[in-house]
Structure 1
Amino acid sequence: MPVRVAVVGAGYFAQFHQEAWARLPGTKLVGIADLDREKAANAAAKFGVPAFSDHEELFDVTKPDLVDIATPPASHLELVKAVAVRGLPAICQKPLAPTLEVAQEVVATAENSGTLLVAHENFRFQPWYREMRCLISNGRLGNLHGVSFRLRPGDGQGPLAYLSRQPYFQHMARFLVHETAIHFIDTFRFLLGEVSGVTARLRRLNSHIVGEDAGIIVFDFATGQTGLFDGNRLNEHVAENTRLTMGEMWLEGSAGVLRLDGSARLWWKPQGGKEALHPYSWPDTGFAGDSVHALQAHVISHLRDGTCLENSAREYLRNIEIEEAVYRSAKENRHVPL
């Protein structure tokens, strides 16, 4: 029997969740809910499923086996409580909650009811990062020195910034780190391991938004490497689609440098040699190399076959603790150990 999946949320990014569930083998999208009934109806019509404006009615009518929460973070605690009461597993979009304290309550709610809660953090499932991880594991880079990422999606200029996709971005008091750099906190940890300290400088470039939209963060890793995140959302990097990779990455080791460009190509430069394209394949469909689909397939494999799970909500709290340290570092103008 297919796993019956109900999606709560019909905003911009929820479309990637819905579309991926509709074509994932072994699952069945059974309904979509959103506070905006028209949005829910438009989304549901694409897949021939019922639409709801109330999540409780969605659960009562469709009787899902799994709930996918794809709504803004302020709604997550209420929704996780509603799912936990019914004893259902859930996937919840990041950020898990507006603050670390509320995120801890979200996680405790699921754990106290004995239900599975997974953070929807899809960047680590983007195929270029999976390939990087394989090359690291295979020893291609030798002893790793560090990682750096230069974020330049170019979507944050002027008074209309973000309004066409996710307008609530303009009003977030914490923006660049809480909404965007959190992806790279998780990805850096996926590639290099645990973070032991951070130093950050954050600022706001676009006066039409509330939160910070530029910053530099230096990460210390427990095994001695260093990470650098250099981000601003106003400028563009070189790419036909600046949102595909959001920027460029360099992984450096004793054997050479692995570079990710804006077209999701990987380039390998061995120490003392010439840079050359590293061939690998990835699906050019869905969101960012079909990473939403890959995350969902990963969760279904865990539920059905007991395979090892990445991104449990409990494990994901560590990313939010690091986020808090980043904001503390910027506020207090100092290095913050973890």
Structure 2
Amino acid sequence: MKVGVIGCGFFAQNHLAAWQAIKEVNLVAVCDQQRQLAEAAKTRFRAHQAYNEAEEMLANEDLDFVDIITTPASHRSLVELTARYGKHVICQKPLAPTMKDAKAMVDTCKLAGVTLMVHENFRWQGIIQKAKQMINSGKIGDPFLAQISFRTGYNVYSNQPYLAADERLVLYDMGTHIFDLVRFYMGEVSSLYAQTHQVNPDIQGEDAATVLLRHMEGTSVAAMNYVSEVEHDEFIQIPLRIEGSRGSLEIRRDYQLNVVSNKQLTSYHVPPTNYSLGSSLGGAIMESVVNIQRHWVECLNTNSEPHTSGADNLKTLELVFGSYESAENNIVYHI
């Protein structure tokens, strides 16, 4: 399969490295509006061509699919452009700045007969998948409560300075990941209540948020912030606890998964696969990127829908925008 990549910035390096690890994929072309970034990616990841205009790449290259890793404001135009050329498309999260744009992208791809997947990769960490397997096996019974958090003091603005100017920050940037995990473990949401805070005075948006979510069966609490000063920073790991009718499970630091079932504790150590691909963010991130991109290739080979298709991701995005509506108006938001 032949891929063209649009966007060669900070996080794109992980996508590009992952394509090198997947032997079925040939990196044909890279594209970035900053020509030097495209040329650097071409050299580092051994692409055949570098472009600084997306349409030029699409017009000149015989591609099977396109991987878009740009800022959200550009996603709709790039996805719709790719669909017009009849190419399947991966798009980084957040999919779009508004639900209207997101729905338009999904509709455009459907009409064009191309597959759209959102690169929602957190669920593809090995330990996250292991916890899901424990739930599916019935080890803890029927889940009724999930607590998922992301707390970090990592300077997210150093590599992505545009985040400091965004009026919507942690719910929009990180909430997509956390809400995808909430749905992954607990199913669909019927209502939510959110509160947000801005702690850092040098940014424009909220950098802390807590959301209570009601599911068809059960409840979740999602907490996220970019301002925690803790002994062990959780930037790459996602601490969570899920209670069930017959037991519980907990993901702890250092990739430790504890499962209590019928009053018996079983511990698993689930470290990420080390791909040694030069990821700037560490093993768990690189593992999740490789895994979701392998999932994408499998979906194209079998003509099946990706787990985080564009249509599926609309449900996650509604939780993001619903949380803002809830926090801004101090109301319960009903899905």
CA apart distance, 1:106? 1.6
Matched, 1:266 2:260: no
Higher relative contact order (CA 8 A, sep 6+): 2
Instruction: Give distance in 2, aligned partners of 1:238 and 1:262.
Output: 11
Deviation sequence 1:90-123 (CA, Å, 0-9, x none): 0011111111111112222212222111111111
Q: Superposition pairs for residues 24-63 of structure 1, below 5 Å? A: 24-49=22-47, 50-63=49-62
Q: Superposition pairs for residues 52-91 of structure 1, below 5 Å? A: 52-91=51-90
Deviation sequence 1:235-268 (CA, Å, 0-9, x none): 14554x63221x4111111222211123222122
2:226 corresponds, among 233, 236, 241, to 233
1:257 and 1:271 in contact (8 A); partners too:
no
- Is the alpha carbon distance of 1:87 and 1:222 closer, same or farther for their aligned partners in structure 2, counting shifts above 3 Å? same
- The corresponding residue for 2:106 is 107
- The corresponding residue for 2:314 is 317
Residues 309-318 or 252-261, more deviating: 252-261
Residues 203-212 or 248-257, more deviating: 248-257
CA apart distance, 1:279? 4.1
SS of the aligned residue for 2:196 comes to strand
Query: Where do 5+ consecutive residues of structure 1 fail to align?
Result: 156-160
CA apart distance, 1:336? 1.5
Instruction: Give distance in 2, aligned partners of 1:150 and 1:84.
Output: 36
2:333 corresponds, among 311, 328, 336, to 336
Instruction: Give distance in 1, aligned partners of 2:32 and 2:252.
Output: 36
1:253 corresponds, among 244, 251, 257, to 244
Instruction: Give distance in 1, aligned partners of 2:221 and 2:27.
Output: 40
Residues 48-57 or 130-139, more deviating: 48-57
2:150 and 2:234 in contact (8 A); partners too:
no
2:92 and 2:118 in contact (8 A); partners too:
yes
- The corresponding residue for 1:158 is none
Residues 299-308 or 141-150, more deviating: 299-308
Equivalences, count: 327
CA apart distance, 1:335? 1.4
SS of the aligned residue for 1:316 comes to helix
- Which residue type is aligned with residue 179 of structure 2? I
2:143 and 2:244 in contact (8 A); partners too:
yes
Matched, 1:298 2:295: yes
Deviation sequence 1:172-205 (CA, Å, 0-9, x none): 1111111101111111101111111101111111
Instruction: Give distance in 1, aligned partners of 2:334 and 2:180.
Output: 17
- Which residue type is aligned with residue 267 of structure 1? N
SS of the aligned residue for 1:207 comes to coil
- Which residue type is aligned with residue 66 of structure 1? F
1:127 and 1:289 in contact (8 A); partners too:
no
CA apart distance, 1:281? 5.6
Query: Where do 5+ consecutive residues of structure 2 fail to align?
Result: none
Matched, 1:203 2:185: no
Instruction: Give distance in 2, aligned partners of 1:234 and 1:163.
Output: 12
- Which residue type is aligned with residue 167 of structure 2? A
Instruction: Give distance in 1, aligned partners of 2:101 and 2:177.
Output: 19
Deviation sequence 1:62-84 (CA, Å, 0-9, x none): 32111000100011111112111
- Which residue type is aligned with residue 156 of structure 2? Y
SS of the aligned residue for 1:5 comes to strand
- Which residue type is aligned with residue 268 of structure 2? H
Tell me the C-alpha RMSD between the 2 structures: 1.7
1:173 corresponds, among 167, 175, 182, to 167
- The corresponding residue for 1:125 is 124
2:86 and 2:112 in contact (8 A); partners too:
yes
2:192 and 2:334 in contact (8 A); partners too:
yes
SS of the aligned residue for 1:162 comes to coil
Instruction: Give distance in 2, aligned partners of 1:236 and 1:42.
Output: 35
- Which residue type is aligned with residue 234 of structure 1? V
CA apart distance, 1:272? 4.3
- Is the alpha carbon distance of 1:236 and 1:248 closer, same or farther for their aligned partners in structure 2, counting shifts above 3 Å? farther
- The corresponding residue for 2:135 is 136
2:164 and 2:202 in contact (8 A); partners too:
yes
